[in-house]
Amino acid sequence: MTFRGDGPLDTGRVSGRGGRGGKVAIGGGAGVIIVLLAVVLLGGDPGDVLGQLGSGGGPGSGQVDGGGAGGDQIDQHIDSCTVEKANSDTICRIVATTNSLDRVWPDMVEDYVGPKTVIFSGSVNTGGCGSATSAVGPFYCPGDQTAYFDPSFFDTLAGQLGGSKGPLAQEYVVAHEFGHHVQHLLGTDQKAQRMGSHGAKSGSVRLELQADCYAGVWANKADDGEDAMLEPLSKEQISEVIRTARAIGDDKLSGGNSDNWTHGSSRQRVRWFTQGYQTGDPRRCDTFSTDDI
């Protein structure tokens, strides 16, 4: 159990979209899905990535079917979510985590307004970052200030990538994407763009590591006080997040050539999440003013 309390969740900014019947062409077949996961896992602009790959037609190109549950079906599921259900249901867990994040961040960011959240299946058309499929993993689109999640990603995370199946590990993924929203509100994403998108000390790596740190800050605050939504976190739950952060480091996913890194190494991802969790202070998440990242 992660969440405490009972009753319905706030679903006002959460909606469902389905890719039923839609297809997005991806050149390279199944191998490209792994590349996409490595490039934009837990953040990034899927429109840019898919645009670079083209619209298929090349050797080995494949079609990714956007089938699965339609938006109406997902919306009905979202509307049924309660705090209790969030402890056993992935979609409701995403919704509950957004509720918790929206309680934590207003105390730390002036004039904070939370992002919208879209839960989709198969493929999705965003309002500001083009089209994407489940292959790109969870992502935040600054163009429409929306975080996007296909719940099937969590199976990939635990099954193919070696992350944890634990609830808090999944909540960490949601908190990371909300971290990108905080960065957008503060203008940090614009700063990162000026520092480059690839390389061990690029703006992209610094942005992603800071989002990991912000996820740690949320974890520190989310079980504080009588009104906290989370039960007190255990060492075992934090270890599940550490396992997941380690599993999705650039060195683990795309090799040791740091020139191609976009998210940071396993060690760095663990370090910055831990920094946020231990301090609970977003000011201690400044990955941009140090070379020691």
Banded model confidence at residue 237, pLDDT cuts 50, 70, 90: very high
Burial (Cβ within 10 Å: 0-12, 13-18, ≥19) of residue 211: buried
pLDDT surpasses 60 at 37 = no
The whole-number pLDDT of residue 116 equals 98
pLDDT surpasses 50 at 281 = yes
pLDDT surpasses 60 at 57 = no
pLDDT tens digit sequence for 195-214: 998 999 999 999 999 999 99
User: What residues does each domain of the chain span?
Assistant: 14-285
Percent of the chain at pLDDT exceeding 90: 77
pLDDT surpasses 90 at 124 = yes
Percent of the chain at pLDDT exceeding 70: 82
Mean pLDDT for all residues in the chain: 86
pLDDT surpasses 60 at 63 = no
Which amino acid, residue 51? G
The whole-number pLDDT of residue 256 equals 82
Pairing verdict, β 146-149 and 116-121: parallel
Mean of the pLDDT values across residues 22-28? 31
Banded model confidence at residue 60, pLDDT cuts 50, 70, 90: very low
